[in-house]
Amino acid sequence: MEAQKSLKVECLTEDEAINLFKKKVGETTLNSHSDIPQLAEIAAKECQGLPLAIVTIGRAMADKKTPQEWERAIQMLRTYPSKFSGMGDHVFPVLKFSYDNLTNDTIKTCFLHLAIFPEDHQILNQDLIFLWIGEGFLDGFASIDEAFNQGHHIIEHLKTVCLFENDGFDRVKMHDVIRDMALWLASEYRGNKNIILVEEVDTLEVYQVSKWKEAHRLYLSTSLEELTIPLSFPNLLTLIVGNEDLETFPSGFFHFMPVIKVLDLSNTGITKLPAGIGKLVTLQYLNFSNTDLRELSVELATLKRLRYLILDGSLEIISKEVISHLSMLRVFSTIFKYLLSKRNYISSSTEEEKEEANYSRKDDKAIYLHEDNKALLEELEGLEHINWVSLPIIGALSFQKLLNSQKLLNAMRDLELWNLEGMSILQLPRIKHLRSLTVYRCGELQDIKVNLENERGRRGFVANSMPNSIFYNLHGVHVNQLPKLLDLTWLIYIPSLERLIVHGCESMEEVIGDASGVPENLGIFSRLEDLRLYLLPNLRSISRQALPFPSLKTLCVMECPNLRKLPLDSNSARNSLKTIEGTPEWWQGLRWEDETIELTFTPYNK
């Protein structure tokens, strides 16, 4: 329609939704029993602010005059929404218009897939895209990078047409009513009732377990401890377990899954490989991230078709030659969990570090990830199809092994550098696909440099084909416990940096030092959204000059007592800033160029 401006029509607030719902129910019904007004509020909340659902359900409840009728209706709305009057023949068909107008079957399949998760479930964009890749939805691309980019494109498109919702930093979820519609589309509308099953009940009945035989995709968050029924999953392609308290599986649980491709046990309480997992010979995607799994035993070596192995968490030991036997492996990720934990930004000592120091078991048939892990790099280098690696590099010898392998450098996506003993200057090599970099506990490190040999003479990344820069894909940098590091001036050459965390660098006085020799149009921190500074006792400056920060959303400063001035002016972070976090004492001690700038940013202080 060539409109000059598009406005997103948000869902109603809770009060607005309740008022509209009660209006459609009518005063006669609301006054027919003293319990009904409260039940009406409960029913209205089930609509999650969606006007179409509020109007439809409100009208359907207008002739229900007893609390029992209302309670039964609310239960049906929660359990079988498609059976509720007006939903399957009015609400869902209207919402289906957005689905029908999606441009291709791949986007439609990716949309329906998110419905496997329970109501209000939020998921990281990266985790969702990896699941789509593991499912084979994005197989039509020449490289995993192209598939990953397409995954991001699909997420953005589904948010644009309001089928997905943005839910925090790099997370999405599905509106409850949209999810109900997706389940209706995936199962009942197509006549395949149990293709997607979501089991969240406390106690499983025999009839529920019998449905698992028909399921293609199953999400389980229920307890399995008392399950004694013989299990069979002849059609199961995907199993996602969402019970964080689940530590073990019933005997034989994995014995009959003849066609399973995707197994996601992330965020569960498991501490060792489940018995029988080696029988899943058709498995292509396996996720143990954010668990307490400590050891990867030889049983995993039987999974010859495995392509995607995600182990981000507490893994410490991998039996030798397990990885080398996974000949089809394309993606290997084992980022340490506790570096991702917020509590490590405000503490210099962690329980995990103490556990690491006390860990005494040794086995010459195992690789210890907290030590020199050159052997793991050698096994990964020998895999023909590997093209995505995320892992910690421990020690100078392992780092040198990485530098000597162009194959591993090309595959590296998330890199953690630990304990680079004896190294005062870190010269970063060209790592074309690197997305995140962590440098941790390098006691002698004073400076970090990048190789600008191919960048000389350029007028600025933005103006001159930024994708060709040496770190174009680098979005996140985290430096932690580097007591002698002086600054991070090298970051001015990172054009796509979105998140920066600096923690425990006692010698640092400036984040960005002397940048007088760089081009004016370099766009320093032009895409930075999240800047967090912790435990920097001598920090006095983030930048010597005010920066526009056109994308900055969050600035967090904790225990930086000498940082008295922020690199902000009246034009900084316009239309982007959400919050500035810091103690009241720190905020009150800040110095500003003028009162207008202080008044501009005071509302953002939290």
pLDDT of residue 557: 97
pLDDT of residue 281: 95
Note whether 326 and 347 are within 8 A (CB): no
pLDDT of residue 8: 53
Least confident of 36-50, 302-316, 327-341, 343-357: 343-357
Mean pLDDT over residues 107-121, rounded? Answer: 90
Report CA-CA distances (Å) from 443 to 395, 414, 489.
12, 22, 19
Residues near 606 by beta carbon (within 8 Å), at least 6 away in sequence: 579, 580, 581
- DSSP alpha helix (H) spans, 140-242: 144-160, 176-186, 206-211
Return the CATH class of domain 14-79: mainly alpha
Residue-wise pLDDT tens digits, 472-483 = 889 999 999 999
Two structure tokens written together for 551: 């994308």
Mean pLDDT over residues 389-398, rounded? Answer: 93
The H or E element that residue 196 is part of is strand 196-199
CA distance 174 to 48: 11
pLDDT of residue 356: 45
Two structure tokens written together for 50: 């969606």
Note whether 413 and 389 are within 8 A (CB): yes
Could you please report the per-residue DSSP string of 29-98? HHTS-TTHHHHHHHHHHHTTT-HHHHHHHHHHTTT--SHHHHHHHHHHHHH-GGGSTTIIIIIHHHHHHH
Percent of the chain at pLDDT exceeding 90: 49
Task: Tell me the CA end-to-end span of the chain in Å, nearest whole number.
Answer: 41
Please choose, from the candidates 473, 509, 510, 513, the residue with its C-alpha nearest in 3D space to the C-alpha of residue 492: 513
Residue-wise pLDDT tens digits, 277-321 = 999 999 999 999 999 999 999 999 999 999 999 999 888 899 998
pLDDT of residue 1: 42
Q: What is the CATH number of domain 93-182?
A: 1.10.10.10
Please choose, from the candidates 469, 532, 464, the residue with its C-alpha nearest in 3D space to the C-alpha of residue 498: 532
CATH ID of 183-348+361-448, from 3.40.640.10, 3.80.10.10, 3.30.930.10, 3.60.21.10: 3.80.10.10
Is pLDDT larger for residue 249 or for residue 94? Answer: 249
Q: Is the pLDDT of residue 198 over 80?
A: no
Mean model confidence pLDDT for the chain: 84
CA distance 100 to 103: 8
Show me where the domains of the chain are located.
14-79, 93-182, 183-348+361-448, 451-456+466-606
pLDDT of residue 91: 61
Report CA-CA distances (Å) from 51 to 17, 110, 200, 501.
7, 25, 28, 41
CA distance 189 to 181: 10
3-state secondary structure of 287: strand
